[in-house]
Amino acid sequence: MPYVSPPGAVAKPTTFALYDTAVGTTHPIYDSLVEMRETCRDVVSGQNTVKSKTTKYLPMLEGQNSKQYKNYLRRALFFSIGAKSLQAIVGMASLKRPKIKAPPAMEEKYFNFDENLCFLEQYVNMVKEVSLQNQCYAYVDWPEKGGDAYVVICPAESVINWDHDDNGNLILVVIREYVYKKISKYQRQLVIRHRELSIENGDYVQTIFEDNTQIKKIKPIVKGMPLKSIPFIAFTQQV
């Protein structure tokens, strides 16, 4: 998978087993960027998030006890210039409609800005994520019971692993998802799922895991044929 690291991000030497038994295994490049990405996300989230991380952003002064530090933290101010800057960047990038190059039928169906507001929303989300994290991802999916294809936008933190074959073709992508699972009529539980996009026996398949256990496997069929490549792309700030 094409990957452009932000300036200063260098993968640290690490032991790495791509095909670990745990689908949640992360790529070394992903590991090297975790702290930077978390900081970027915290900064634009604002003062409450920054303060919740306590000594990560506001170290305890020498000689302070816990009560003194708590008051020190309460009095501290964090001006959310990051969020305001991001909002301005996204606003400027969205002043003009994006130029679309697609077959006429596809352009009319998916990129009709007067009727299909979903694409505009996805475009704005993509610009926001690329501006914030230097990268975001997208893949094409299909309803299990049939219907039109649609695009899923993935923030940088959600794509935790990937691999290529010897020819440079993408053969594996693992996406971490957070979903609310219904456990009773009124209760929902937040669980982590992993969506594996892979090539198996030459065909594209999706496999869904929960608690490292496979719960579903899907082979998308388009015009009666399975796909031969993973419909996945990375967006970055580089042109």
Count Cβ atoms within 10 A of the Cβ of residue 63 and give its class: 0-12 exposed, 13-18 middle, 19 or more buried. exposed
Residue ranges per structural domain of the chain: 28-45+80-236
In the chain, alpha helices (H): 28-45, 47-52, 66-75, 81-93, 104-110, 117-133
> What mean pLDDT, rounded, does the chain reach?
85
- Each residue's pLDDT tens digit, 8-21: 343 443 444 444 45
- Each residue's pLDDT tens digit, 191-221: 999 999 999 999 999 999 998 899 999 999 8
Which residue matches tokens 């505009």?
A: 120
Query: From CA 64, how far away is CA 51, in angstroms rounded?
Result: 17
DSSP state at residue 144 = T
| Average of per-residue pLDDT across 69-73 | 96
- Each residue's pLDDT tens digit, 22-70: 899 999 999 999 999 999 999 999 999 999 999 999 999 999 999 999 9
Kindly provide the b/e burial profile for residues 21-44, where b requires at least 16 CB atoms within 10 angstroms of the residue's own CB: eebebbbebbeebeeebeebbbbb
- Each residue's pLDDT tens digit, 76-123: 999 989 999 999 999 998 887 777 777 877 777 677 666 666 777 888
- For 217, phi then psi, to 5°, come to -135, 135
Which residue matches tokens 């069929």?
A: 221
What are the CB-based long-range contacts (under 8 Å, 24+) for 220-226?
220/141, 220/142, 222/142, 222/149
Query: From CA 53, how far away is CA 74, in angstroms rounded?
Result: 13
Please report the pLDDT score of residue 21 as a whole number.
Answer: 56
